[in-house]
Amino acid sequence: MPATSSPPDPMPLVAQVAALMRDVAERVVMPRHRALAAHEIVEKSPGELVTCVDREAEARLRDGLDRLGTGARIVGEEACAEDPGLLDGIGSGAVWLVDPLDGTANFASGSGAFGIMVALVEEGEPVASWMLDPVSGRMCHAERALGAWIDDQPVRARGSGRLRPIAALASQFMAPDARARTHRVAERRFALEPIPRCAAESYPRLVTGRNDVALFQRILPWDHAAGVLFLTEAGGRATHWDGSAYRVGSTGAGLLAASDSSLWERGFEALSGTLADGGSRRTLAA
């Protein structure tokens, strides 16, 4: 009787999530890039756009993650827009965080970066993350205590090497006076670069040497859990504005991120005073 071979090992979770995201990008996102009709772009809140692509991509990602059978609940940006109560207890248990189309305004305009972001979080700590650029196909992935990869190649964060480090300040949600003060202070120490308005692009820039420091004022969990893990596993540093550790569900304000601890220290030294004086958390926090 011929020997029977054992079935092949199932595709690892990391690969399954990556394959799901690439499938959604190919089937849902890219066919509508620069092909949206006016009625397919609406405001879900003042200044916040959503498209039919956001909603369909989230539904497909949700269904695909559910089929993985991890037991983690699934919290997506668009579902939370309809039911903010889904954020209750976001820092407890196992949670999939899904941003189906980060950089929606860029996507809707047909210009600028956009991406798909997924993070697996346990008790408020990101443990695995994926960020896909649907245009280039670049996949950034990280696993807690194991490292970070770009397109399956291990990566370590590097700064720009500039004498005057490059900073990108996502301050558009600050009160105007606090925003002006923050930029004025930052310009004394850093060369400022416009933000890409897409966290799925901001974090890779800190790892690949384009930016040295990034400041984020609004820190919705699906926008940052994936990027923070990717950056820190690559050797960078990201904390709340007061220097406390980032945690999903934390009440800490803002995020300060950098390519390494030395650059983070320079950013903190330059900006911590103006952020502390820039208003209450009610004014500046997410």
Class assignment of domain 13-154?
alpha beta
pLDDT in tens, the chain (286 residues): 344 444 444 679 999 999 999 999 999 999 999 999 999 999 888 888 999 999 999 999 999 999 999 999 999 999 999 999 999 999 999 999 999 999 999 999 999 999 999 999 999 999 999 999 999 999 999 999 999 999 999 999 999 999 999 999 998 888 899 899 999 999 999 999 999 999 999 999 999 999 999 999 999 999 999 999 999 999 999 999 999 999 999 888 899 999 999 999 999 999 988 887 543 333 323 3
Q: Tell me whether domains 13-154 and 166-284 share a fold.
A: no
Residue spans of beta strands (DSSP E) within 33-146: 41-45, 48-51, 73-76, 94-102, 115-122, 125-132, 139-143
Predicted TM-score (pTM) of this structure = 0.91
Q: Where are the domains of the chain?
A: 13-154, 166-284
Distance CA 79, CA 229 (A): 23
Q: What CATH number does the domain located at 166-284 have?
A: 3.40.190.80
